[in-house]
Amino acid sequence: MRGRGASTKVMAAGTALEPLSADSAEDIAAQEFARIVESHRPQIFRFLLASLRDVDLAETLTQECFLKAHRNWSHFRGDSSAMTWLMRIAINLQKDYWRNRRMQFWRQTRTNAVDLDEASEWLPNGERSAEQQILAKEQVAQVWQAVKGLSERQRTVFLLRYVEERELSEIAAATGLSEGTVKAHLSRAVGRVRAELRGTR
Partner 1 sequence: MNREQNMAGESPQMDMELEQALKHFKSSVDAWSYAVSTDAAGSRPRTAAKLAVRHSWRMAAGWALGCLLAAGSLTVAGHEIYHRQQLAKLAAQKAAEQRAAAGRATAQPTSAQPVSAQSDQKAPAATVRKVGVGNEDSARSQDSARGQDDNLLAAVDSDVSRQVPAAMEPLAQLMDDNGTQ
Which residue lies nearer to partner 1 by CB, 29 or 190? 190
Total residues belonging to the chain: 201
Examine residue 122 and tell whether it contacts partner 1 (CB under 8 A).
Answer: yes
Name the segment binding partner 1 (CB under 8 A); options: 23-31, 48-56, 91-99, 100-108.
48-56
Examine residue 169 and tell whether it contacts partner 1 (CB under 8 A).
Answer: no
Smallest distance, partner 1 to C-beta of residue 16, A: 41
Whether residue 85 contacts residue 76, with contact meaning beta carbons closer than 8 Å, is answered with yes
Gap between the Cα atoms of 116 and 106, Å rounded: 24
Examine residue 97 and tell whether it contacts partner 1 (CB under 8 A).
Answer: no
Which residue lies nearer to partner 1 by CB, 29 or 139? 139
Examine residue 120 and tell whether it contacts partner 1 (CB under 8 A).
Answer: yes
Smallest distance, partner 1 to C-beta of residue 195, A: 11
Smallest distance, partner 1 to C-beta of residue 121, A: 7
Q: Which of 2, 46, 70, 148 binds partner 1 (CB under 8 A)?
A: 46
Examine residue 183 and tell whether it contacts partner 1 (CB under 8 A).
Answer: yes
Whether residue 171 contacts residue 160, with contact meaning beta carbons closer than 8 Å, is answered with yes
Residue 21's CB: how many other CB atoms inside 10 A? Answer: 11
Gap between the Cα atoms of 7 and 22, Å rounded: 7
Residue 164: CA atoms inside 13 Å, Cβ hemisphere, count? Answer: 28
* SS3 label, residue 72: coil
Examine residue 198 and tell whether it contacts partner 1 (CB under 8 A).
Answer: yes
Torsion of CA 58, 60, 63, 69, to 10 degrees: -80
Examine residue 143 and tell whether it contacts partner 1 (CB under 8 A).
Answer: yes
Residue 174's CB: how many other CB atoms inside 10 A? Answer: 27
State the residues that interact with partner 1 by CB under 8 A.
41-42, 45-46, 49-50, 55, 114, 118-124, 136, 139-140, 142-144, 162-163, 165, 168, 182-183, 186-187, 190, 193-194, 197-198, 201
